[in-house]
Structure 1
Amino acid sequence: MTTTYRAGVITRPGGPEVLEIRDLPLQAPGRGELRVRVRACGIGATDLIMLAGKYRFAPKLPIVGGYEIAGVVDAIGRDVTGFRIGQRVAALTVHGGFAEYLVREARHFVAIPDGVSDIEAAAVILNYVSAWQMIHRVAKVEPGARALVTGAAGGVGTALLQLLGLAGVTTYGTASSPKHALVTKLGALPIDYHDGPIDRLVRSREPNGVDVAFDALGGKSISRCLSAVRRGGLVVGYGFMTATSRLAQARMFFDTFVTSRLRRRRGAFYGISLLYRRDPRPFLEDLPKIFALLAERRIEPVIAEVIPLARARSALELLATGTVAGKIVLTCA
């Protein structure tokens, strides 16, 4: 009988080198909880921020990393209904996903439908729900709108391109030239940020500006996005991968909200963890929509690499290079 399991533990702040694969004692689920045997776990920029000790929603160290998982119900705690042993489920875990097993309250899990693999499920939980909510709950885009996506070849960026295309939106995506084929494949018009300021490049094609911009970078990119959208248009900031300090984050909030008003544009900031902590219901409503699109093959997550849990540190090192197009997924045997 299994009494321990392997997990990727963050013991101190740092880079990928601080992640250690350790054996931990296997626990039974408590009242209202499920124990899930993890089959796949997504890796994203938030995991790097968590490694650095800069993520505001992470518990105190040491912790098990891992933001999102797909797996199989292994044990069911008291008073849990609606789940069965062997059922495939997914969850936004925020932490705890880099592991062979996970115990969490049952209310956080969503069933994975037939036609969606474990790897695909893990690849869409964070990226595609974030993109869906920014498009439909924050920006409320209409068919025929025009949009700009920075970091278009990244995990959330590729999800935005696909979902904006399904929504009938003409989209421009910024990426380096080697990634333009991917941006085009996903239905967007590529813009090489090496060719000049992105606001000028966008305005050369859209003289009146785009209706909405989705910006993952922060800093100077926010200002460029504000100049790229039309008067009355919207800039949605999310992730802000360049913000590693509270001061930098505060500055980016200022740029998004205050500067946008001075320029007669609208600014909004999106954070899936913050929204989930306030009210998990929108996420639990939207993830099944994403799974349905995936089962119908109307979307296809861009999966850059599939790497075993034992090599989680290497996966994080690869992500940190900034060269990855799409999503990295860890798998557990």
Structure 2
Amino acid sequence: MSTDRADQATQTVQSGPSLQSGPSGPSGPSTRSGQAVQVVLPGVVAPEQLEIRRTAVPEPAPGQVVIAMEATGVSFAEQQMRRGRYYDQPPFPFVPGYDLVGRIVSTGEGVDPALAGRRVAALVKVGGWASHVVVDAQDAVDVPDGLSPEEAETVVVNGITAWQMLHRTARVRAGQSILVHGASGGVGSVLVQLARAAGVRVIGTASARHHDALRELGVIPVDYRGGDVPARVRQLAPGGVDAVFDHVGGRSVVDSWQLLAPGGTLVSYGSASTRDDTGSKQLPVLKILARTWLWNSLPNGRRAHFYNIWAGRALSKDRFRGRLRTDLTEVFAALQRGEITPRIAARLPLARAAEALSLAESGTVTGKVVLTP
């Protein structure tokens, strides 16, 4: 796929200040020989208080590879982590970054040395905002030729999430109808395109400024700020929809359940409405889990799920890895076929991670904010 197509969707961002240096070295992430660069989240801080630190380039342990990052992204997870609101984030300080794309630069014992130089993608949950990242070799997924690092990055965590919710959890089929909340967001924009490619009718909520772009994708837009969203969806789907994908949480989950047709499936995968709340970060998720348990106990033929990528770890490690590899390979293939347009909201260097995070949090862009070395 040509990068020109992706460039058309990229917002131009004017240059701004880099992050301040942390205690380990000077500011600026340009990598010097033998040094790696990391963006560190030191606590519950404003974006501009992220820190740049320099460390030695890591060495791979047996079974591991070191990836030189070419692209990583800003997802909703990092926005929650900055606030201390991600329900199972590690203790501060840590390096955020849910996923990355890059070249393997060194291999550990037991790993084929011929892998060096290969472009791969990896899902890491934390650690991706760094110039060099260590991962288990089995967790590195080949990126097909013809995809740029930035294009591939837009569909790693977002693509796996969308694919698994659509095809593994909801098992949506051609001819069915679905509702996607946040249809212009990182996951939502991939989800609606995968659904349209599968022959599914899609209703998507988004602010009015994103409606034209959604119509171009074949999505029926609904303004989530325009009043009674459930009433508008019922006008479009009087008998209900076959699946709802809800990242909002709170009251929205209840409305989503009530919009299901007989035999329909609700897939909840977040609690964006509680992003700025205080108090327990686990409670919003626990409330959703309690509701899904209650609803699934009712004899009405509908089902509710709370989706999380890492829930698949209940499988054996090999099965979990195999499923991630299979699903990301399917998403990359859809990207190569043109069924997904890589929506890059902005490209910024790692030194401007604070600006990238602020931009992603602003809600003013469509697609993925991507960080590069």
- Normalised-by-shorter TM-score class: over 0.9
Equivalent residue for 1:104? 135
Name the stretch that deviates more: 66-75 or 268-277: 268-277
Cα deviation, 1:149-208, whole Å, max 9, x if unaligned, reads 001110000011100001110000001111101111222110112232222111112111
CA 1:136–1:211 in 2, change beyond 3 Å: closer, same or farther?
A: same
Q: Check the 8 A contact 2:245/2:268 in 1, yes or no.
A: yes
Q: Check the 8 A contact 1:234/1:267 in 2, yes or no.
A: yes
Q: Equivalents in 1 of 2:297, 2:48: separation in Å?
A: 42
1:272 correspondence with 2:309 = yes
Equivalent residue for 2:348? 307
CA 1:96–1:307 in 2, change beyond 3 Å: closer, same or farther?
A: same
Q: Equivalents in 2 of 1:176, 1:72: separation in Å?
A: 37
Cα displacement (A) at 1:59:
3.0
CA RMSD of aligned residues (A): 1.8
Letter in 2 for 1:178: R
SS at match of 1:281: helix
1:14-33 superposed matches below 5 A: 14-33=45-64
Q: Equivalents in 1 of 2:254, 2:203: separation in Å?
A: 17
Q: Equivalents in 1 of 2:113, 2:58: separation in Å?
A: 21
Q: Equivalents in 1 of 2:222, 2:130: separation in Å?
A: 39
Cα displacement (A) at 1:56:
4.2
1:94 correspondence with 2:125 = yes
Cα displacement (A) at 1:325:
1.5
Cα displacement (A) at 1:14:
3.1
1:252 correspondence with 2:252 = no
Equivalent residue for 1:138? 169
1:231 correspondence with 2:268 = no
Unmatched 5+ residue regions in structure 1? Answer: none
Name the stretch that deviates more: 110-119 or 239-248: 239-248
Name the stretch that deviates more: 11-20 or 24-33: 11-20
CA 1:155–1:124 in 2, change beyond 3 Å: closer, same or farther?
A: same
Cα displacement (A) at 1:92:
0.4
Equivalent residue for 2:326? 285
Equivalent residue for 2:211? 180
Q: Please, what TM-score do these two structures have when normalized by structure 2?
A: 0.84
Cα displacement (A) at 1:260:
6.2
Equivalent residue for 2:22? none
1:121 correspondence with 2:152 = yes
Cα displacement (A) at 1:16:
1.9
Cα displacement (A) at 1:70:
0.4
Cα deviation, 1:208-232, whole Å, max 9, x if unaligned, reads 1111110110111111111221133
Equivalent residue for 1:11? 42
Equivalent pairs counted in the alignment come to 332
Bigger relative CO (Cα 8 Å, ≥ 6 apart): 2
Q: Check the 8 A contact 2:245/2:269 in 1, yes or no.
A: yes
SS at match of 1:194: coil
Q: Check the 8 A contact 1:47/1:65 in 2, yes or no.
A: yes
Cα displacement (A) at 1:82:
7.7
Q: Check the 8 A contact 2:271/2:284 in 1, yes or no.
A: no
Cα displacement (A) at 1:322:
2.3
CA 1:252–1:94 in 2, change beyond 3 Å: closer, same or farther?
A: same
Q: Equivalents in 1 of 2:146, 2:246: separation in Å?
A: 32
Identity across matched positions, percent:
38
Name the stretch that deviates more: 305-314 or 4-13: 4-13
SS at match of 1:221: helix
CA 1:266–1:197 in 2, change beyond 3 Å: closer, same or farther?
A: farther
Instruction: Say which of 203, 211, 214 aligns to 2:234.
Output: 203
Q: Equivalents in 2 of 1:213, 1:298: separation in Å?
A: 21
Cα deviation, 1:216-273, whole Å, max 9, x if unaligned, reads 1011111111122113311100122234521222112223442465593321111113
Equivalent residue for 1:326? 367
Q: Check the 8 A contact 2:138/2:321 in 1, yes or no.
A: no
